[in-house]
Amino acid sequence: MSDRKTVMSVNGTEMFSPPSNILIPTRDEGKKPVLDVRGLGIDFGGLRAVDEFTITVSPTEISGLIGPNGAGKTTVFNLLTNVYKPTRGAILLDGHPTAGKSVAQVNRMGIARTFQNIRLFDQMTVLDNVRVGMSNNTRCNFAESFLRLPGYFKAEKRSRERALELLSIFNMESEAYTLAGNLPYGAQRRLEIIRALATEPKVLLLDEPAAGMNPSETHALMESIRQIRDQFGIAIVLIEHDMNLVMGVCEGIAVLNFGKVIAKGTPDQIKNNEAVIEAYLGRQEKKEA
């Protein structure tokens, strides 16, 4: 692992909890983190679902968020996309706070996501699903749409070509005119990723992208995730239970348990971390009958 080294990420203010020292790939050295989350927390009634969640993600990093069931991983994603309003802490995207923005506005700022339980537009074609993702990057006002002015045709043509281009990442062009609801499960997951990419994000959040995929599909997915990072130059944060995928593709990993980060580091560090092993497997000494 010679291409990585530990760097203290430098942040201006110390108002929030101190920035974490996390691993930054050498290619991102000296760049400001694209996502800077400080002391994020949310309470549901008396339950602290997420607490003191601090993480920085550099511009082209692939990082993983793992943890046992119910640890609060998806809640973190919902906080990052402003589906939930955080009780504490702040999220900075490229230095801009996302507080007070709507879900749609956060997407426009540059955070796109996929869902654990697939949420496609089932009654629309695969192509149109991708084009919905491109809505905010397609210039075509109401008058042009109603009257089919030249701008409409230009926008439609451009969006169709771009959507097919995006679909080609996963070799899905031939499915372009199938209804999204009729796609097989794995293809639906891939389509969700493409749709999220179509919004031209800076950070892509993948919620269990490999769920329900077989080993060879998972392997192909790993390749695609790297390809997406290289081709689009974006940061990817993924939640996943498939450790082969997480250890294989992530450069930095944060482990969550009971809403708190219990460990951060490279895949090797995480594998050997006692707190992580305890969270997943339980403590060895305390075998009370």
Partner 1 sequence: MKKFLSKINRRDALTLLVLVGIFAFFFIMLQTGAASHQFKNMIIPMTYYILLAISLNLMVGVLGELSLGHAGFMSVGAYTGCFLSVMLVEHFPDLPMFVYLPVAMLCGGLMAALFGVIIGIPALRVKGDYLAIVTLAFCEIIKTVIINLDFLGGAIGFDTDKIVPDRNKALTLLPYAAFAVIVSAILIMNLVRSKHGRAIMAVRDNRIAAEACGINVNFYKVAVFGIAAFFAGVAGVLYGHNDVLLKSSTFDFNMSIEILIMVVLGGMGSNMLGSVIAAVVMTALPEILRDFSDYRMLIYSVMLIVIMLFTSAPALAGIRERLSLNFIKDAVTKRIAAAKAKKANKTKEEQK
The residue ranges that bind partner 1 (CB under 8 A) are: 81, 83, 102-105, 107-108, 112-113, 115, 119-124, 128, 131-133, 135-136, 138, 140, 142, 144-148, 152-153, 155-156, 159, 161, 164, 168, 173-174, 176-178, 195-196, 198-199
Nearer to partner 1, 135 or 266 (CB): 135
Of residues 176 and 262, the one with the C-beta less far from partner 1: 176
Taking the least distance from each CB to partner 1, the nearer of 124 and 247 is: 124
Q: Residue 31 or residue 157: which is nearer to partner 1 going by CB?
A: 157
Do residues 212 and 183 touch, judged by C-beta distance below 8 A?
no
Judging by beta carbons within 10 Å of its beta carbon (0-12, 13-18, 19+), is residue 10 exposed, middle or buried?
exposed
Q: How far is the CB of 128 from partner 1 (least distance, A)?
A: 5
Q: How far is the CB of 153 from partner 1 (least distance, A)?
A: 7
- Residue 125 bridge partners (DSSP): 179
CB of residue 89 vs partner 1: minimum separation in angstroms? 21
User: How near is the Cβ of 76 to partner 1 at its closest, in Å?
Assistant: 15
The least CB distance from residue 102 to partner 1, in Å, is 8
Nearer residue to partner 1 within complex by CB, 15 or 147: 147
The phi and psi torsions of 161 (rounded to 5 degrees) equal: -65, -45
